[in-house]
């Protein structure tokens, strides 16, 4: 592929060298357009050596070959990383005062934008509005991460890691094989109240479900994300329904199940809830040293959907297990699939650095009879795409 990489003037520009290198090593023809400000942070020789192509900077260079439009027209995909608030604003309004913004305006290729800036600039309503405008027009945003910024401050605004940006470029140019389909995804972890301040919850961050929603959206689906207490923001460009308890999650899923083609139940759902929810905070002096809370079973939403008559949506469930052995994991998945009458179960191995809260995941995708359809190990996005591939296969 011919990839145009726009680099803006932000300190994160140095991280983009790793992205360009990976794209080149994957065999792509990479052409870098740094803004003048980007060249104050990173040298032209670095970008030329790493991209193995001369960089293009000046709008008035190569006028004879109409370079201000030629680069954009010939691109298969344009990546802008880091994208500053300034360049995002220009793109949202269609301004074209440098070679990069001219190239974007002259291009019909997918546009991938990886913003990086200080938290206040990112959260400013102007920036958020501009980002939403670009998403509406079909741009793919690689969401900035939370963490240490350039100074001593910590917050959202860090450029996503190079491998996440590379995955986004691959995804943006990938197939639209879910066009015309509706995909419902549940994500996060439910909370069952004990009293006004306490709840029974779990460690699910919602990252895998959010990655599924993003992947389905990028593949052309209409996506409904039902999110229970997500630790990460829901993606733009989808319908988002926030919930908290299992009862709320159930109502949200059941009301959207009609008309759905695929339902992926990635949420960690509490099997039990307290029989009585205290109206006021339970006080230690009143309850004493030993407390027991009566629990009652929650409805099993996946089993309820699985009990529906065919034709029904393709149903994908999740199982988080701690067994290390693939055969044991597959057997657990097969049992769950049968009990709930699901079509696929994604069995996650949960341990340190994998599963809950982590960026990466490892999953076995099990179909009926315990058949292992895929074994995936990678980012949650890679796992998400493998699950959607398998769900599409069931639909065929």
Handedness of CA 39, 92, 138, 123 (dihedral sign): positive
Of the listed 53, 86, 124, 202, which one is catalytic? 202
82 versus 317: smaller Cβ distance to ligand C5P: 317
Residue 28: CB minimum distance to ligand C5P, A: 37
Residue 339: CB minimum distance to ligand C5P, A: 8
214: left (phi over 0), alpha (psi -120 to 50) or beta: alpha
Element (H, E) at 6: strand 2-7
Enumerate the H helices of 33-98 as residue ranges: 44-51, 67-74, 85-93
Binds ligand C5P by CB under 6 A, chosen from 65, 120, 271, 327? 271
SS (H, E, C) 78-92: EEEEEECHHHHHHHH
Q: What are phi and psi of 227, to 5 degrees?
A: -110, 125
What lies within 8 Å, CB to CB, of 290 at 6+ separation is: none
Separation of alpha carbons 342 and 347, rounded Å: 13
What part of residues 168-227 is at the interface with ligand C5P (CB under 6 A)? 186
Binding residue count for ligand C5P, defined by CB under 6 A? 14
Residue 304: CB minimum distance to ligand C5P, A: 8
80 versus 263: smaller Cβ distance to ligand C5P: 263
3-class DSSP assignment, residue 224: strand
Would you count residue 265 as binding ligand C5P (CB under 6 A)?
A: yes
Residue 317: CB minimum distance to ligand C5P, A: 3
343 versus 385: smaller Cβ distance to ligand C5P: 343
Active site residue 202: yes
Residue 313: CB minimum distance to ligand C5P, A: 13
What part of residues 235-254 is at the interface with ligand C5P (CB under 6 A)? 246
What part of residues 326-355 is at the interface with ligand C5P (CB under 6 A)? 336
Structure tokens at 227: 């999110």
* Contact call for residues 238 and 217 (beta carbons, < 8 A): yes
Which stretch, 96-104, 157-165, 226-234, 264-272, contacts ligand C5P (CB under 6 A)? 264-272
Structure tokens at 159: 């450029």
Kindly give the pairing relationship between strand 222-228 and strand 314-321.
unpaired
15 versus 340: smaller Cβ distance to ligand C5P: 340
What part of residues 279-318 is at the interface with ligand C5P (CB under 6 A)? 298, 300-302, 317-318
Pick from 95, 94, 144, 139: nearest CA to 120: 144
Which whole-number Å values give the CA distances from 349 to 163, 302, 381, in the listed order?
A: 22, 20, 16
36 versus 271: smaller Cβ distance to ligand C5P: 271
Sites of contact with ligand C5P (CB under 6 A) = 186, 246, 265, 267, 269, 271, 298, 300-302, 317-319, 336
Which residues are marked as active site?
202
């Amino acid at each position: 592929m011919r990839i145009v990489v726009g680099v803006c003037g932000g300190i994160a520009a140095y991280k983009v060298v790793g992205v360009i290198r990976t794209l080149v090593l994957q065999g792509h023809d990479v052409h870098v357009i740094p803004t003048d400000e980007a060249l104050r942070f990173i040298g032209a020789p670095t970008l030329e050596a790493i991209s193995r192509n001369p960089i293009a900077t000046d709008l008035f260079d190569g006028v004879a070959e109409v370079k201000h439009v030629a680069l954009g027209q010939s691109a298969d995909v344009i990546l802008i990383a880091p994208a500053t608030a300034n360049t995002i604003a220009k793109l949202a309004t269609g301004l074209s005062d440098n070679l990069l913004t001219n190239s974007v305006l002259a291009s019909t290729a997918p546009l991938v934008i990886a913003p990086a800036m200080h938290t206040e600039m990112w959260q400013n309503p102007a920036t958020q509005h501009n980002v939403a405008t670009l998403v509406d027009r079909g741009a793919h945003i690689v969401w900035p991460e939370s963490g240490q910024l350039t100074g001593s401050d910590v917050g959202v605004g860090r450029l996503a890691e190079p491998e996440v940006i590379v995955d986004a470029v691959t995804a943006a140019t990938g197939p639209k094989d879910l066009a015309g389909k509706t995909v419902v995804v549940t994500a996060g972890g439910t909370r069952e109240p004990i009293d006004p301040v306490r709840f029974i919850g779990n460690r699910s961050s919602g990252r895998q479900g959010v990655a599924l929603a993003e992947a389905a959206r990028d593949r052309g689906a209409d996506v409904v994300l039902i999110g229970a207490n997500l630790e990460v923001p829901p993606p733009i460009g989808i319908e988002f329904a926030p919930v908290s308890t299992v009862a709320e999650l159930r109502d949200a899923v059941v009301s959207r199940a009609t008309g759905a083609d695929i339902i992926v139940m990635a949420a960690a759902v509490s099997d039990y809830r307290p029989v009585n929810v205290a109206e006021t905070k339970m006080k230690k002096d009143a309850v004493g040293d030993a407390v027991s809370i009566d629990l009652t079973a929650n409805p099993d939403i996946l089993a309820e959907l699985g009990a529906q008559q065919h034709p029904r949506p393709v149903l994908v469930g999740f199982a988080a297990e701690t067994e290390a052995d693939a055969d044991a994991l597959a057997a657990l998945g097969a049992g769950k699939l049968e009990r709930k009458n699901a079509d696929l179960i994604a069995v996650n191995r949960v341990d340190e650095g994998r599963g809950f809260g982590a960026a990466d995941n490892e999953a076995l995708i099990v179909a009926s009879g315990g058949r292992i359809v895929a074994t995936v190990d990678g980012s949650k996005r890679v796992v998400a795409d493998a699950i959607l591939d398998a769900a599409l296969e069931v639909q065929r």
